[in-house]
């Protein structure tokens, strides 16, 4: 398994990324291809005692920054670590690509440099989160497309369903549409049209789901446009952070509670980890013809290692081939009916 890694994406590049890669090589024996400024990578590794064993470097002279327009990856920054890594993936020089860089550039780069699966209309950024039943659910799109048409959302349902089957082994994933109520007629034009299309798909479509039920295992795949998905994801993130911040003063009120806090610290850490979606790895770019994982911008070594692991499992899972197959069948059926 050969994973191409953007060594200059995210807030903690390249140090934390190199550390994460080293962990991944040691633990899982993956071969890593680092894209980025060769000299800087080597000196950072040397200065920090990081072994580059089992890693190679493809040089890239530029870096996509958060201030860059996402389109830059195609022209102005076509020699950036992200662009070079993606082109290397497209050329078959690795099995998957991981970046913690700009989400917008990752979406555009994947779409135009790695390319979409044939028949897929739009790529989606998907997040996988834990639910309270001990399982996981996927929300897509969480930000690649702020505006979507109904047919695009239907494909998101297909892609999410195949991913959950192949990658996480979920039987017959329950696909739901994110909406403002559970009744069939809820939402705006987009939701109503998507609902009626999803109903007629060979999917386990269970109807509308409300945002408040997501973490309680209401569905395995939650379909939405990138705007509302992003709002849901960031509301969940923000609330978790708010609650964790607010627990500390509660604990530190008096000697009794300070003792209680010390006793519970470990359990709370576990708990925070459970909520922290970077623990699962990153967000797969669904609909892209090869595995691309977008790690969180503030990923540290451990989170980055998890994203690499996720990329490897994704590459092995056969999910992309399954999606290609289902989308092709859907198209063939549509062609026959037309």
Name the DSSP class of 74: T
Going by DSSP bridges, is the β-strand pair 136-140/124-130 parallel, antiparallel, or unpaired? antiparallel
Kindly tell me which residue out of 227, 313, 316, 318 binds a copy of itself, with binding defined by CB under 8 A.
Answer: 227
Three-state SS at 204: strand
Interface positions, 3-42, toward a copy of itself (CB under 8 A) = none
Alpha carbon distances (Å) from 152 to 35, 117, 194, 201, 224:
32, 13, 9, 13, 10
Instruction: Tell me: does residue 81 bind a copy of itself (CB under 8 A).
Output: no
- Give me the torsion for CA of 211, 168, 99, 304, rounded to 10°: 100
CB distance 280 to 136 below 8 Å: yes
Considering the complex, state which of residue 22 and residue 68 has its C-beta at the smaller distance from a copy of itself: 68
CB of 192 to a copy of itself, least distance (A): 10
Contact track, a copy of itself, 252-291, x by CB under 8 A:
-x--xx-xxx-xx--xx-xx--xx----------------
Instruction: Tell me: does residue 206 bind a copy of itself (CB under 8 A).
Output: no
Select the span of 26-34, 37-45, 74-82, 224-232 touching a copy of itself (CB under 8 A).
224-232
Kindly tell me which residue out of 31, 231, 313, 330 binds a copy of itself, with binding defined by CB under 8 A.
Answer: 231
Kindly tell me which residue out of 180, 196, 199, 329 binds a copy of itself, with binding defined by CB under 8 A.
Answer: 180
Select the span of 21-29, 183-191, 297-305, 321-329 touching a copy of itself (CB under 8 A).
183-191
Instruction: Tell me: does residue 76 bind a copy of itself (CB under 8 A).
Output: no
Kindly tell me which residue out of 34, 178, 203, 289 binds a copy of itself, with binding defined by CB under 8 A.
Answer: 178
Kindly tell me which residue out of 51, 250, 279, 321 binds a copy of itself, with binding defined by CB under 8 A.
Answer: 250
Instruction: Tell me: does residue 101 bind a copy of itself (CB under 8 A).
Output: no
The C-alpha atoms of residue 314 and residue 145 are separated, in whole angstroms, by 22
The 3-class secondary structure across 83-133, one letter per residue, is HHHHHHHHCCCCCEEEECCCHHHHHHHHHHHHHECCCCCCCEEEEEEECCC
The C-alpha atoms of residue 338 and residue 331 are separated, in whole angstroms, by 10
Nearest Cα neighbor of 228 from 242, 209, 243 is: 209
Tokens for 94? Answer: 């690795």
**Which residues of the shown chain bind a copy of itself in the complex (CB under 8 A)?**
132, 143, 146-147, 178, 180, 187-189, 191, 210-216, 224, 226-228, 230-243, 245-247, 250-251, 253, 256-257, 259-261, 263-264, 267-268, 270-271, 274-275
């Amino acid at each position: 398994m050969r994973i191409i890694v953007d060594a200059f994406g995210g807030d903690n590049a390249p140090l934390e990324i190199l550390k994460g890669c080293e962990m991944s090589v040691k633990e899982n024996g993956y071969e890593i291809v680092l894209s980025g400024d060769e000299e800087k990578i080597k000196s950072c590794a040397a200065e920090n005692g990081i072994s580059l064993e089992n890693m190679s470097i493809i040089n890239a002279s530029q870096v996509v920054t958060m201030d860059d327009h996402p389109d830059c990856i195609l022209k102005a920054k076509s020699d950036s670590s992200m662009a070079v890594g993606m082109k290397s993936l497209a050329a078959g020089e690795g099995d998957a690509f991981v970046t913690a860089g700009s989400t917008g550039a990752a979406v555009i780069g994947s779409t135009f440099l790695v390319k979409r699966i044939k028949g897929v209309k739009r790529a989606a950024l998907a997040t996988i989160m834990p639910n309270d039943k001990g399982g996981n659910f996927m929300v897509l799109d969480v930000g690649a497309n702020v505006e979507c048409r109904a047919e695009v959302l239907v494909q998101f349902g297909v892609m999410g369903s195949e991913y959950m089957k192949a990658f996480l082994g979920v039987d017959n994933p329950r696909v739901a549409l994110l909406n403002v109520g559970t009744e069939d007629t809820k939402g705006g034009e987009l939701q109503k049209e998507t609902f009626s299309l999803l109903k007629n798909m060979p999917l386990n479509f269970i109807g509308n789901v409300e945002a408040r039920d997501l973490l309680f295992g209401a569905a395995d795949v939650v379909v939405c446009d990138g705007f509302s998905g992003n709002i849901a994801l960031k509301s969940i993130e923000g609330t978790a952070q708010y609650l964790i911040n607010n627990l500390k003063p509660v604990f530190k009120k008096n000697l009794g509670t300070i003792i209680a806090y010390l006793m519970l610290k470990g359990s709370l850490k576990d708990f925070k980890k459970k909520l922290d979606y970077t623990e699962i790895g990153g967000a797969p770019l669904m609909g892209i013809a090869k595995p691309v994982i977008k790690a969180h911008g503030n990923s540290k070594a451990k989170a980055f290692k998890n994203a690499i692991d996720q990329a490897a499992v994704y590459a092995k899972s056969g999910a992309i081939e399954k999606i290609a197959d289902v989308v092709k069948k859907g198209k063939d059926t549509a062609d026959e009916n037309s």
